[in-house]
Amino acid sequence: MIHLLVGNTGAGKSTYANALKLTTKGVVFSLDTWNKILFFPDKTKEDGLDWFLERIERSELLMQNLILQLENAGVDSILDVGLSKFVHREKYRKFADDHNIEVQIHFLNLPKEIRKKRILKRNLEKGNTFEFEVTDEHFHFMETWFETPLEDELKNSIIITE
């Protein structure tokens, strides 16, 4: 099974992924961790959104290969990879469908004020889900970047509101 974790910045996807890992015995794929280790050390000030999107695409090709291996071994995959856009979520739904893998969407739908407080706290405390500081600029960008899932997308989903 593939678990798709959907939620805007600060919704608690990484924390949720770690808890889900314990109950499903699944493997978490955290794009923030991959980016921090593989790409951030090489990033320059001139590198923008396209630079990130290209690296995300390459990472996800590797993730998909690993997801297939895990599925063959009977192990769930938990995707903490953003899924901010409908087209990104659709890509994984199609991938799962093409490979006859069950999908479960988990939508963490928390108000902006709560998410902002969580980000400020995570930036300050640098706890176990901290990978990098989320600036006000990044938080506000993600507010406009994120596409809330449509009603059709959320059929049979798990929706978290607290």
Q: What is the pTM of this model?
A: 0.82
Cα 115 → chain centroid:
15
Task: List, for residues 140-157, the tens digit of each pLDDT value.
Answer: 667 788 899 999 999 999
Q: What is the pLDDT at residue 27? A: 97
Q: Contact 63/46 with Cβ under 8 angstroms? A: no
Structural domain including 38 reads 2-160
Cβ atoms within 10 Å, residue 6:
27
Residue 72 in tokens? 């063959």
C-alpha distance from residue 36 to each of 18, 44, 101, 107, 132 (Å): 18, 14, 29, 24, 7
Overall domain count for the chain: 1
Task: List, for residues 27-50, the tens digit of each pLDDT value.
Answer: 999 887 787 778 777 888 888 878
Nearest to 7 by CA among 137, 117, 106: 106
Q: How confident is the model at residue 115 (pLDDT cuts 50, 70, 90)?
A: confident
Q: What is the pLDDT at residue 144? A: 80
CATH code of the domain containing 18: 3.40.50.300
Q: Choose between 54 and 64: higher pLDDT.
A: 64
Distance CA 143, CA 131 (A): 19
Q: Contact 70/27 with Cβ under 8 angstroms? A: yes
